[in-house]
A and B are shown apart, each in its own frame.
Chain A
Amino acid sequence: MIFLSHNRNSLGEAAALARGRIAPNIYDIIAFAMLVALLVLLAHGAAGMRAPSTLLTTSPVTLGLANLPDYALRTTLRMFAAIIVSLIFTFTVATLAAKSRRAEMVIIPVLDILQSVPVLGFLTFTVTFFMGLFPGSQLGAECAAIFAIFTSQAWNMAFSFYQSLRTVPGDLDEVSRGFGLSAWQRFWRLEAPFAAPGLVWNTMMSMSGGWFFVVASEAITVGNTTVQLPGIGSWLALAIDKQDFKAVAWAVLAMGVLILLYDQLLFRPVVAWADKFRFEQTAGQEKPRSWVYDVLRRVRLLRTVGLPIAWLWQRAMLLRLGRRTQPATTVASRRFSRLLDFAWLGLVLLVALWGGIETVLYLGQTLGWNDVIEAFSGGLLTLLRVIVLIAVASVIWVPIGVWIGLRPAVAERVQPLAQFLAAFPANVLFPFAVIAIVATGASPGIWLSPLMVLGTQWYILFNVIAGASAFPSDLKEAARVFKIRSWSWWKNVMLPGIFPYYITGALTASGGSWNASIVAELASWGNTRLEAFGLGSYIAKATEAGDFPRVILGIAVMSLFVTLFNRTLWRPLYVFAERRMRLD
């Protein structure tokens, strides 16, 4: 799901794109089959390349406090490597999808499915695959971690960029063509700037989600391969293993500082800068502010340093890479291209069919119907958890969010906090919950569940705050003049007003919760292991055992659940919100 920078115009377009995509169509099924087939291939390759010995024993992670800043740095570097890869992926793949109809036919459904795939499930293959690729060096494990973060970030960024490219304003397109801008110039002068606000916002959301995965992917055990990359995630894993409460607290603190720094030093400035790309012809609305950005703009030295870069940039703009975009072709060639479309579609179908058969054959070798039933019943249970938890979180946070959003002074202070909490990796906090459950002897089947929404509930909160803040004051005044109060006020005034925002938040939260279930349903503290039966723990256990067929089955089932859940519940609600409850 694309995150929307609370820009109501683009929301409409998103809904327009989403509208046609409620019922799963043939492309979804194809995409699904191809994806699972790819997993199988990866697993095959990984199994073949799996290195017999453990590699990362040269300098094991320790709990020395002096190491913590270094670990924090390593973790951050991994994050940045992943975001750069994600950006490259976005610029290439999304551009390809927007420019080539045939690529679009495959890429968009695949991205749509990939958004629903539990990222943590990938770790199993990627760790073994990348370690096989770089035997004897840490690089393999690093790549695996970076890849895991990448898979959590790239899809919504690519989607946002693709959507922007498809909705470039017609008159600006005509100006660019009229002046004969080359593809290179057009990209940097028209397309990239137009897409910037949405992309920046989605990148920010992706980074927020990414911290969760960097923590989860640094220390991982797949079968008899154990990887511990120096970083906060490994520190945490070690602390849990040694039951070192103080070390866990340090990890929480380090994480907090890290996210605060990254937010203040990197993202606020970028958001403030990207504001100038907002496509609106009228001034007004409050601008996002950042003290770092203000400082940077005033530093004279930077301007001197920037001169040669600006010069290079200007020269680069004069390059004439790519041909001019030409007007539409004639009827005859259109007919030919339609024939090619059919051929292409046929090829894609064949590959998907082959992939589907291969998958079933591969899984059929080791797994029986019992496993399928187990995975599905686990899926149902996890689904129940997600529904109940999102409902509970909504009941708690919607009133609070509305209360805050209607008070601008409070909202101004709480909103950054909510965004901070959404970025904070909840898995760092899991040990506390586990200790509490162990101490009180509560049922893990029930009490492990709240961990799933621990990190994702904040999406509901800050979206509702944004919605309530944006609620038009004339409608508020009208409600007051006509003395609309209590339930009628909620039902007729506020809930419809924040509904589109709430849906965006709840959808994000539910997607995140599915992912978190893989970590949350199986938690440990030293030698104490807590397990809640569900699809998440099914995948987690299979991963630990290095049981590839079960991991694939688990991932496929979870993807299926998430996709169906999104299609049957969230998408229709989203479209409904767009049609009926827009406030402009």
Chain B
Amino acid sequence: MNQAVITKALPLVEVHGVCQTYDKGSAGKLVVLDQVGLTLVSGEIVGLLGRSGSGKSTLLRSIAGLIRPSEGAIAFEGKAVSGTPDGIAMVFQSFALFPWLTVLQNVELGLEAQGVSPAERRKRALSAIDLIGLDGFENAYPKELSGGMRQRVGLARALVVHPKVLLMDEPFSALDVLTAETLRTDLLDLWSEGRMPIESILMVTHNIEEAVLMCDRVLIFSSNPGRVVAELRVDLPQPRNRLDPAFRALVEDIYARMTARKEPGSPPRDGVFPGTGIAMVLPRVSTNLLAGLIEAVAAPPYNGHADLPPLAASLQLEIDDLFPIAETLQLLRFAEFAEGDIRLTPAGKRFAESEVDARKQLFAQQLATYVPLAGHIRRVLDERANHKAPARRFRDELEDHMSEGYADQTVRAVISWARYAEYFAYDEESDLFTLDNPT
């Protein structure tokens, strides 16, 4: 319905060629955002959809002026953003409320920073509290409130400064399903009735259905590095129905785009994770989740081949949880994962049918063959007379290619997989890899 409101006036926010890189020392640079562009005009809700690590939160913070991008230009109402512009407010995933301030004081905080007099401040804060449905909670402390109420405070605090643009960083992902839905509906109602003093909303999410439900436009981000890979217009009328076939088709389409294989021109890689060979950044995915997903896909009604949206819904997993598991299975060649589908390989099927010991053997085999770092560690251990090697050594090796945090995460991931497969052992006390498992 907001299409009608769009005027051909100046865009509110313009982002051109923004790059965000972090220095990794000798290893060069870690690119979080790569040449991202975006225009936000009055009267629309735009969603940034992508997985964690795709830089969408970084982009949001750059627009808010909290981070200065390494390259590129960001303009708000035609002027380059420097510092934190007054017409932009933000809502946080963690609510970010001050626990020592009451609801009213929290809402007044932004006005206080603007130097608004106490009486005026109070009036405006109370009206925002009223608008957002927090009446009666003015003197409560955040810790007394439920998650949903806390996020309402976060919303009221953002609205009270009368921003033109409201930025929302995964605003509903810390809430339970029911509360999140109520809050979304309330927000959409306020928006469509024009009762909020804002002109446009830019929200980050990794929930595909949420994006389709709320947004007029959805920008899909790829990760490592973060790029806008697709832009979709959602022309369904509000209020939208999740069961509407057109809605389902859009969700399906987005799933397919997000799991699309890399464009043919890009260099071949071992898998979907950044880096090649032993320098691949591995996600920390528990073997229980891997086995669980294999079993779920192997069982009826999927029988080895599942469509992602219903699978995600039945397992109650969001894409941020589901994708790393599926991609790890792909890395280990237990499954094929593309175009919104997941399909077990023969190895995956064998795994699903096996008993514990056979599973471990099979897992060790796949680990040795398809995870270069695991094979590398094992070879070093085999070569040494005492079959021991400090983990520090491998971490250092990895840090030549990735940041310290990623190196640590990768080593931990390999440790947990190798422990499950009894491929090699690790002693935390001495930080040593060994070959002897306690018997």
Chain A contact residues, CB within 8 Å of chain B: 169, 171-172, 174-175, 177-182, 185, 189-190, 193, 196, 276-283, 314, 317-318, 320, 324, 326-331
Contacts and interface: CB of A to CB of B under 8 A. Distances in A.
Contact of A283 (B64, B95, B144, B157): B144
Nearest to A193: B100
A314 B118 contact: yes
A185 B86 CA distance: 17
Contacts of A174: 61, 64, 66, 90, 92, 96
A182 B113 contact: yes
Interface string B98-125: 1111000000011011110110000000
A328 B118 contact: no
B116 to A, nearest CB: 8
B344 interface: no
B96 A171 contact: yes
Contact of B99 (A177, A181, A278, A324): A278
B66 A178 contact: yes
Interface string B18-32: 000001000000000
Contact of B98 (A193, A196, A318, A328): A193
Which of B67, B70, B118, B150 has the most CB atoms of chain A within a 10 A radius of its CB?
B118
B282 to A, nearest CB: 23
Contacts of A178: 64-66, 84, 88-90
Contacts of A189: 98, 101, 109, 112
A277 B100 contact: yes
A331 B19 CA distance: 14
A179 B87 CA distance: 10
A277 B161 contact: no
Smallest CB-CB A-B distances: 9 pairs: A171-B96, A179-B110, A193-B100, A179-B113, A327-B68, A277-B100, A181-B113, A175-B96, A171-B94
B83 A175 contact: no
Contacts of A280: 99, 143
Given A280-B143, A317-B112, A172 B83 contact: no
A254 B309 CA distance: 75
Contact of B67 (A169, A320, A328): A328
Interface of B: 23, 61, 64-68, 70, 83-84, 86, 88-90, 92, 94-101, 109-110, 112-115, 117-118, 141-144, 150, 157, 161
A327 B96 contact: no
B195 to A, nearest CB: 23
A327 B85 CA distance: 13
Given A178-B88, A281-B97, A329-B68, 17 more contacts: A180-B84, A180-B114, A189-B112, A193-B98, A193-B100, A276-B99, A276-B100, A277-B99, A280-B99, A281-B142, A283-B143, A314-B118, A318-B112, A318-B117, A320-B115, A324-B84, A326-B83
A283 B146 CA distance: 10
A178 B83 CA distance: 9
Contacts, number: 91
Contact of B112 (A175, A177, A185, A281): A185
Nearest to B142: A281
Contacts of A181: 109, 113
Contacts of A171: 92, 94-96
Given A179-B109, A318-B115, A172 B98 contact: yes
Nearest to A192: B100
A317 B108 CA distance: 12
A169 B23 CA distance: 24
A433 B402 CA distance: 64
A146 B88 CA distance: 51
Given A174-B61, A174-B96, A318-B112, A281 B90 contact: no
A276 B98 CA distance: 11
A327 B65 contact: yes
Contacts of B64: 174, 178
A283 B114 CA distance: 31
17 contacts: A174-B90, A178-B89, A179-B109, A180-B83, A180-B86, A193-B98, A196-B100, A279-B99, A280-B99, A281-B99, A281-B142, A318-B112, A324-B83, A326-B83, A327-B66, A327-B83, A328-B67
Which of B23, B65, B144 has the most CB atoms of chain A within a 10 A radius of its CB?
B65
A185 B84 CA distance: 16
Given A189-B98, A320-B115, A177 B66 contact: yes
B144 A175 contact: no
Contacts of B141: 276
A324 B66 CA distance: 11
Contacts of B113: 179-182, 185
Given A185-B113, A193-B100, A278-B99, A175 B92 contact: yes
Nearest to A320: B115
A5 to B, nearest CB: 15
A183 to B, nearest CB: 12
A241 to B, nearest CB: 51
A98 to B, nearest CB: 19
Which of B89, B112, B142 has the most CB atoms of chain A within a 10 A radius of its CB?
B112
A279 B143 CA distance: 9
Nearest to B61: A174
Contacts of B109: 175, 179, 181, 189
A379 B114 CA distance: 59
Contacts of A326: 83
Contacts of B150: 281
Nearest to B86: A180
Contacts of B66: 174, 177-178, 327
